[in-house]
Amino acid sequence: MDFGVTSKRDGYAAAQRRQSASVGKKNAGATFAKLVAEKTAGQTNASGAAVHGSDMRYMGETYQERLQKITNPDAAVAFQAAYAKKLAGATDAASILSKVFSAGKTGAATFAEAFPAYRVVTHVGNADIAAANWQRNDFPFWEYYRENTSADALNDWRPSGPNPPQTRSDLQRNYSSIGPGRMAVLVPEKLQAKMDADPAYARQIMAKLQEWKEDYDRWDNTVAASYGYDVAAHQAGKSYVFDLDENGDVRNCTVTGSGGTLTGPTKEEREQFEAEQKRKWKLRVKYIEIMEESARKRNQMEREDREAAAQEARGI
């Protein structure tokens, strides 16, 4: 899927290819986020501040910035659904698991403290990997999980031949060798120096990566749920490599995982699900109408207050 993240999976990737035609643009509920984004864009409150949602960031970008980069329609639908969940503070399984697996010690100042659910290894150095190389299926990112690997160990790696399929046997062995619950973080020397000198800044960097990962997982888990996967097993099976820039933003990322167990729904369950989605969609549309009406009334009251104040100032 088109997450802007390199994903290396076994059964999950294959299931995505098999079932992509059945997901697509028919998921009307996912367009709730698009509606909300359009409704809130450019709106301001009484103090002139942007209304929540219009400036909410997802994986470090605004709704439109991220959406414009997505070329796969299935990924776009999943993104809209995930964005809506974040905006609404949803408590569905995909959202809760994403939060739990991205939460750490309060005030965490190290990556190990920020992600206690994972075996974290940090490599400080100046990784310099071209995006085209990082995104190849044979880029040996699994080397970063080793304790004695340096951040710049793969800077000189060069591809040979066309990009091979993920299903190639030697690649599957390398992906599988990583296992679940692992994390490698590549930290530029300048970033590490700034964090060492300022613990408060270090905490900000940890919080930034936690939010980015939670956003990614919410999006990815939403896709997994739509294919009938056990989302809990899917989330628990992931491992991550994060390549940060000097500001602590994610420059490159690779996620591996088994994808969990496929538990295809019965016909009755699908019909029940579709009926429930239609009901929720009607409620969401009604919610938007209520919000719009409330905003109109609030704007009218504020306008009347301003006019009254102006009249009073003129001594009318």
Q: What's the rounded Cα separation, in Å, for the pair 85 and 79?
A: 10
Could you tell me which residues are beta bridge partners of residue 269? none
Task: Write out the two tokens for 230.
Answer: 């056990």
C-alpha dihedral sign at 124, 129, 134, 139: negative
C-alpha dihedral sign at 192, 198, 199, 202: negative
Contacts of 114 (CB under 8 A, 6+ apart): 104, 105, 108, 206, 207, 209, 210
Q: What is the pLDDT of residue 1?
A: 47
Angle (nearest 5°) at CA 206 between 204 and 208: 70
Strand order in the sheet with 250-257: 6-9, 250-257, 239-244, 182-187, 119-124
| CB neighbour class for 158 (10 Å; exposed up to 12, middle 13-18, buried from 19) | exposed
Q: What is the pLDDT of residue 73?
A: 84
H or E element: which one contains 93? helix 93-100
C-alpha gyration radius of the chain: 23
Q: What is the pLDDT of residue 263?
A: 44
pLDDT in tens, 235-270: 999 999 999 999 999 999 999 986 444 444 455 655
Residue 119 DSSP label = E
Q: Are strands 119-124 and 182-187 parallel, antiparallel or unpaired?
A: parallel
Low-confidence ranges of the chain (pLDDT < 70): 1-54, 258-295, 316
Listed residue (216, 224, 272) closest to 241, CA to CA: 216
Torsion of CA 293, 297, 298, 301, to 10 degrees: 170
Angle (nearest 5°) at CA 127 between 106 and 180: 55
Q: What's the rounded Cα separation, in Å, for the pair 149 and 315?
A: 76
Q: What's the rounded Cα separation, in Å, for the pair 67 and 242?
A: 22
Q: What's the rounded Cα separation, in Å, for the pair 63 and 140?
A: 32
Q: Per-domain residue ranges for the chain?
A: 6-264, 267-316
Task: Write out the two tokens for 217.
Answer: 């997982």
Q: What is the pLDDT of residue 286?
A: 57
pLDDT in tens, 6-29: 666 554 443 333 232 233 333 334
